[in-house]
Structure 1
Amino acid sequence: MGMTSPSNSPLSFPINLGRQTLARLFNSLMALQANLWLVPALYCIGFFIVTAGLYTAEIAYPEIFHKPITLFQGEAADAKTVVATLLSAMITMATLSISITIVVLSLAASQLGPRLIKSVMSDRRTKDFIGMFFGAIVACFVLTVILHSRQPDQPVPQTTIAFVFLVVFVNLFVLLGFVHHIAQSCMADSVIYRVSRELNHTIDRLAEDEGTEDESEELADLPSDFEKSGVPLELRQSGYIQHIGYKTVVERAAAADALVRIDVSAGYYGIAGERVGWIHGVKDGTDEARTLLDAIGGAITIDTTRTPTQDLEYSVRHLVEIAVRALSPGINDNYTAIQVVDQFSASLAAMFSKTVPNGRYCDEDGVARLWAVTTGPEDIVFNAFDRIRLAAAGKPDVTAHMLAKIKVLSSFARRDAVRSVLRDQVKAIMQDMECCSATIVDEAEIKSLADEAMKSLHGKGTE
């Protein structure tokens, strides 16, 4: 499985640096996407340029703009009064939009979880609406400066004034659209769909046709004295692992004729000095070992937050949090949890049709150089369904829906490990049902669904 080129090439260092730079750039883009200020700031810059440019063109080429404008035909003094009023009104409108946004974020944090604030803030349409409000403020401000700097005997820039008036008029309808959109954004259905869409994008990006489908190919090629004679790999700082440059590690290990094992993956919170792997083939304390340790340490990006750069469970955790909160006694919203199960099942079906790298990476000569922990479909199935199952204990409608979706997923699951995890979930659901049988009136129906799911998974019934 040739994945990389030898790292002793004179271009290896720039290539490695470029890969790490791209990973950090992707993390930065994800952080910017969750910020509420960037898009409105671009709108403000755009409206400033358009307003100032239109005024400059109107002054430089009066013969083009000599026709009277229907939207405004008054004097400069009239325009000053109107623009001052419009500027105050647009500031009030922008303040209102920010207040509404804060209310929506508060609702999302209390009902769906504080980590879902980032998803709500990432909504592009909300940023566009706010950008229109702030852009109109900038246009009114620029026009105010222009009108106060003009002499009484100079011609009135009617086209520029008409443009600003038109922008303000359009913002009246933008406000209506903003209120409609923000009302939909705080609904659980919209948030669940948005998070599941992010999960699908992460699956499409990370679940590529790399690695191999052979499930037995794990650590069989590691030397028996790997840890005894190896050099420990320790983290440089505390924080969440956002990205590991596996190709970079393979190239550096191939150059040193070494073998590397990394026992953590993206999404793991590590502590500075924590041992997270081993290097075999170099002697501890030598310059060669220190160089390789520095290269591998530089290939691991660590920061204070988790990102979906390499973390398949990032969006899964958000979906699970919505379901668990919905099933809590304080909220008790079973239908939201059912919708989470629906969206999550669709994402799992898409994941089952792809190949997730198994964590065994080779150089271009086919020599295994790196063994890394990876998050497979079976891990995601267990971490998601198990938490929802525990929260749904005593809620037969959610439990029955989970069993129905497990039966559907059985036709998509190709790997034995995945089917085994699904079978374990069915067994665990039935054990939960036995503990709550005194309060369940439709136990027979759920038992029937469990039997059908087990048969679809090529297992035995629950009897």
Structure 2
Amino acid sequence: MQSWASKLYNLWELTRSSLFYVPVIISLMFIGGILLIFRLELSYTEYVQKLDFLYAGSTEDAKTILQTILSALITMTTLVISITMVVLSLSASQLGPRLIKIFMSSRLTQIYIGVFFGSIALTLTLLILLHDQSTFEQPPKLTISCCFVLTFINLFVLLGYVNHVARSGIADTTIERVTQELEHSLSRLTDSARDHTEHSTAPQIPKHYSENQRDIYSSCSGYIQNIQYPALVELANKHDLLINIECRAGDYVFTGQKVGTLFPKEHAQAEVEICIVECIDVGSNKTGTQDIEYSIRHLAEIGLRALSPGINDNFTAITVLDKLSGVLSKALSKDLPQHIYHDQKNQLRLIGKSVTQSDIVDSALSQIRDAGKTKPDVLHHLIQLIGTISQTLKSESAQQALNQQVDLIKQHIHDHFHNKEEETYLLETLEKYSL
């Protein structure tokens, strides 16, 4: 059951950033809604005719107006798509091409575009209905009036979309969205780690493991999106195996690359190896299904590009560091997923490669630190970030990872600010936080 849930979530991760599905669903809802209104109006014509504020023209006049509306809506939707492409281009050049997904996965963006396409589909459907006048004696006043009201609403929807797009182009907005996605991913993955704590004891490798193992090789190339650990445990129990997976979500593998081992090799038949490889979902893109560093890398990329010579925006990089401080504080204080599984008899069945606190610190800070090594304001903010987190940190491994970053910062200070005022200022900040 957990295996299927993981696969479904991975599928959701791949589809939720598409601009196709939500607009199609909204368009179908609009078509269904106008057909329902039309059907109700045919059934209760005598009541509808008593409403004086509805459309009072002829069917031919309504067709002419609707044709004009349809043309205007198509032009408006074309403008919307053009604006969207411009924003995506700007986001790709300033914040990184991988962050286009953040804009496209915005539910508000998808709803706006869905309303525009749905309005076109609704108007076209109504024109088709009006083409066959044999189905009604009087023009469908209520149905036509609803289309007119929707067209009027579209004017304000366009205004709202332009405002939404303008705000989406601001770096702070994108940073906030990435941070929210990161916090959600962190909460989801660490909660699953807490549920799995009882199986996360240190693995006891059997004797003669290295002499009696069989290697497993990848059957395709791509990024590992999801590993079905529950399914692997079932296979291990069924065939009395110990499975060691030497890769994790987010890693790139190529065809023929070693991805793990089986023990003992006399139980590792060819069909079992095929089933194990099929439990490793590989695709062309990375996803955040099991990769806890996925959104951290996105957030770090914004800061890294902001510090590039072509942009040189220290304030955006500092904003990224502010967001990373809160994320790192949560990540380093929680139990990270440890993919070590035992059976009911406490026999080791599966060893998976797990992310460490050092990996998270390195993904979050290393590239930004290196890109900002000549910028005293960025180094000062990094020192503040590390000092603040260290005051509440209890994990020794996390503290060691932060201390490595401090040592590198000291080296940067010596290399680039020796015998300068900035050196004194930065060293005083280090002493302030006892680093």
Aligned-partner residue type, residue 113 of structure 2? I
Change (3 A) 1:227 1:68: same
Aligned-partner residue type, residue 264 of structure 1? C
SS for the counterpart of 1:330 is: coil
Structure 2 match to 1:45: 28
Q: Which of 403, 412, 426 is the matching residue for 1:432?
A: 412
1:146 aligns with 2:126: no
* Distance in structure 2 (CA, Å) of the matches to 1:199 and 1:373: 21
Structure 2 match to 1:4: none
Q: How does 1:64-79 map to 2 (within 5 A)?
A: 64-79=47-62
Q: CA deviation at 1:117?
A: 0.8
Structure 2 match to 1:188: 171
Structure 1 match to 2:279: 299
Structure 2 match to 1:12: none
1:264 aligns with 2:247: yes
Structure 2 match to 1:394: 374
The normalised TM-score by structure 2 is 0.94
1:372 aligns with 2:349: no
SS for the counterpart of 1:278 is: strand
* Distance in structure 2 (CA, Å) of the matches to 1:210 and 1:167: 49
* Distance in structure 1 (CA, Å) of the matches to 2:92 and 2:418: 35
More helix by percentage: 2
Aligned-partner residue type, residue 331 of structure 1? I
Q: CA deviation at 1:52?
A: 1.3
Contact 1:362 1:368 in 2 (8 A): yes
Worse-superposed segment, 352-361 or 401-410: 352-361
Q: How does 1:209-224 map to 2 (within 5 A)?
A: 209-210=194-195, 212=197, 218=202, 221-224=204-207
SS for the counterpart of 1:411 is: helix
Q: CA deviation at 1:427?
A: 1.1
The normalised TM-score by structure 1 is 0.89
Q: What's the CA shift string for 1:215-236, capped at 9, x where partnerless?
A: 9x655x2135322221111112
* Distance in structure 2 (CA, Å) of the matches to 1:440 and 1:203: 41
Q: Which blocks of at least 5 consecutive residues in structure 2 are unaligned?
A: none
* Distance in structure 1 (CA, Å) of the matches to 2:144 and 2:274: 61
* Distance in structure 1 (CA, Å) of the matches to 2:326 and 2:91: 24
* Distance in structure 1 (CA, Å) of the matches to 2:298 and 2:281: 22
Contact 1:322 1:340 in 2 (8 A): yes
* Distance in structure 2 (CA, Å) of the matches to 1:440 and 1:256: 67
Change (3 A) 1:233 1:142: same
Structure 2 match to 1:335: 315
Change (3 A) 1:46 1:439: farther
Contact 2:212 2:263 in 1 (8 A): yes
Q: CA deviation at 1:51?
A: 0.8
* Distance in structure 2 (CA, Å) of the matches to 1:309 and 1:214: 21
1:106 aligns with 2:89: yes
Change (3 A) 1:425 1:84: same
1:323 aligns with 2:306: no
* Distance in structure 2 (CA, Å) of the matches to 1:422 and 1:262: 28
Q: CA deviation at 1:69?
A: 4.3
Q: How does 1:156-167 map to 2 (within 5 A)?
A: 156-167=139-150
* Distance in structure 1 (CA, Å) of the matches to 2:339 and 2:431: 35
Q: What's the CA shift string for 1:335-366, capped at 9, x where partnerless?
A: 11111111122112222332113332211222
Q: CA deviation at 1:438?
A: 5.5
Change (3 A) 1:23 1:90: same
1:96 aligns with 2:79: yes
Contact 2:218 2:277 in 1 (8 A): yes
Aligned-partner residue type, residue 150 of structure 1? Q
Q: Which of 236, 258, 262 is the matching residue for 1:279?
A: 262
SS for the counterpart of 1:228 is: helix
Q: Which of 235, 248, 252 is the matching residue for 2:235?
A: 252
Aligned-partner residue type, residue 159 of structure 2? L
Coordinate RMSD, CA, aligned = 2.1
Q: CA deviation at 1:64?
A: 2.9
SS for the counterpart of 1:63 is: helix
Aligned residues: 433
SS for the counterpart of 2:368 is: helix
Structure 2 match to 1:207: 190
Contact 2:244 2:350 in 1 (8 A): yes
Q: CA deviation at 1:445?
A: 2.2
* Distance in structure 1 (CA, Å) of the matches to 2:341 and 2:359: 20
Change (3 A) 1:447 1:211: farther
* Distance in structure 1 (CA, Å) of the matches to 2:428 and 2:81: 51
Contact 1:23 1:243 in 2 (8 A): yes
Structure 2 match to 1:3: none
Q: What's the CA shift string for 1:136-173, capped at 9, x where partnerless?
A: 11121122122222159820111001100000001111
Aligned-partner residue type, residue 327 of structure 2? S
Q: Which of 280, 290, 312 is the matching residue for 2:270?
A: 290
Structure 1 match to 2:398: 418
Contact 1:359 1:371 in 2 (8 A): yes
Contact 1:394 1:439 in 2 (8 A): no
Structure 2 match to 1:13: none
Structure 2 match to 1:5: none
Contact 2:333 2:395 in 1 (8 A): no
Structure 2 match to 1:61: 44
* Distance in structure 1 (CA, Å) of the matches to 2:102 and 2:342: 37
Aligned-partner residue type, residue 103 of structure 1? V
Contact 1:210 1:356 in 2 (8 A): no
1:233 aligns with 2:216: yes
Q: CA deviation at 1:296?
A: 1.7
Q: CA deviation at 1:105?
A: 0.2
* Distance in structure 2 (CA, Å) of the matches to 1:110 and 1:359: 38
Q: Which blocks of at least 5 consecutive residues in structure 1 are unaligned?
A: 1-17, 456-460
* Distance in structure 2 (CA, Å) of the matches to 1:447 and 1:409: 18
